[in-house]
Amino acid sequence: MKKIPVAILGATGAVGQKFIKLLENHPWFEVRELVASTRSSGKTYQVATHWKQNTPIPQAVKNLVVQELDAPLQSPILFSGLDSSVAGEAETRYAQLGHWVISNSKNHRMDPDVPLVIPEINPDHFELVRQQKTSGKIVTNSNCSTMFLAMALHPLHRRWGVQRVMVTTMQAISGAGYPGVPSWDILGNVIPYISDEEEKMQTETQKILGQLTQGRIEMAPFTVSASCNRVAVVEGHTESVSVEFVDKPQSLDEVVAVLRQFRGLPQERNLPFAPPEPLVVFEENDRPQPQRDVDTYNGMATLVGRLRSCPVLDVKFTLLGHNTVRGAAGAAILNAETLVELGYIKP
């Protein structure tokens, strides 16, 4: 099919750079327009950005001229990596102008008419866009830590019903953007607070795993208690999770089987960014590890390990995911692929 032109909002930032890297040679999408702040606008991308990715700036993008945030755009799809301080108003305005805004920003995630979607879990929630009054639409992906928790909980909730969840995160510094956390604060240290992170994990998980009923989301009935920490890891959020179920699994082997067998629409339709296994379960006691495992399936898989009985709840395990790929830009790209595949966006 002919490639769909796309624009990157917040193109010079950490998430914007990741969008550009991941979209290089994408079979469906082609980056045609870049948008950033006034200090970057009017410059070519290679001049405007402090490129921090581990591959060179794509040739097709390096000489594109960066446009201002209020510039008129031609691309039907806009991938937003905007900072939350400006994302809400800008994304609404672009939707009013007829664009599909696929957002990684937090501003619209909990709006009642905005889908908060992980395509393996709740692609039916895309129907909420029909309630948006704008000619364009806004679709969001979750917070990076929410992404991996929801991915693991979904097949378990579907099988046994989740009742309570306790989660403690150890989150990489790349989640704070660039320059992120000062080295003086993070080296040899753990910071036990990330602004709004615990609240986002607790509410977004309930929305994603909730049910679309008569045009509204009924939040999932379980409770999530989150504790979030910043640690001196570059890429990869690790989470220690304990879960209590309504109906009890007969064995840990049964839990492992449910996780390993899980597949969703992206796998069934073989979408370009879909990992063949959305959940990869490790048997080794010391895995998953960010240094060794975070790039599994190009960073699009959720990694599960140390699955064992919990003496307080029912089951506990360790999660790992690539926070800037599956937890950010890659999630938005997979959402866009799903929207095209399902016919919401016409090529």
The confidence score (pLDDT) of residue 178 equals: 87
302 within domain boundaries: yes
* pLDDT interval class at 169 (50, 70, 90): very high
Degrees, nearest 5: CA angle 107-114-117: 95
E-strand stretches of 24-84:
29-35, 77-80
346 within domain boundaries: no
Print the domain residue range for 216. 144-322
**Using one digit for the tens of pLDDT, what is the confidence trace for 278-324?**
999 999 999 999 999 999 999 999 999 999 999 999 999 999 999 99
Catalytic residue among 99, 125, 157, 237: 237
Q: What DSSP designation does 64 have? A: P
94 with 174, same domain: the answer is: no
309 with 179, same domain: the answer is: yes
347 within domain boundaries: no
Q: What DSSP designation does 169 have? A: E
Number of separate domains in the chain: 2
Place of tokens 């905007």: 82
* pLDDT interval class at 332 (50, 70, 90): very high
> How is the beta sheet containing 137-140 ordered, strand by strand?
29-35, 4-9, 77-80, 100-103, 137-140
237 is annotated as an active-site residue: yes
Indicate whether 50 pLDDT > 90: yes
Catalytic residue among 99, 108, 125, 144: 144
**Using one digit for the tens of pLDDT, what is the confidence trace for 116-151?**
999 999 999 999 999 999 999 999 999 999 999 999
- How many residues are given for the chain? 347
Burial of 63 per CB tally in 10 Å (0-12, 13-18, 19+): exposed
307 with 166, same domain: the answer is: yes
Whole-number Cα distances in Å, 55 to 7, 32, 47, 161, 278: 20, 20, 16, 43, 25
* pLDDT interval class at 1 (50, 70, 90): confident
190 within domain boundaries: yes
The confidence score (pLDDT) of residue 112 equals: 97
144 is annotated as an active-site residue: yes
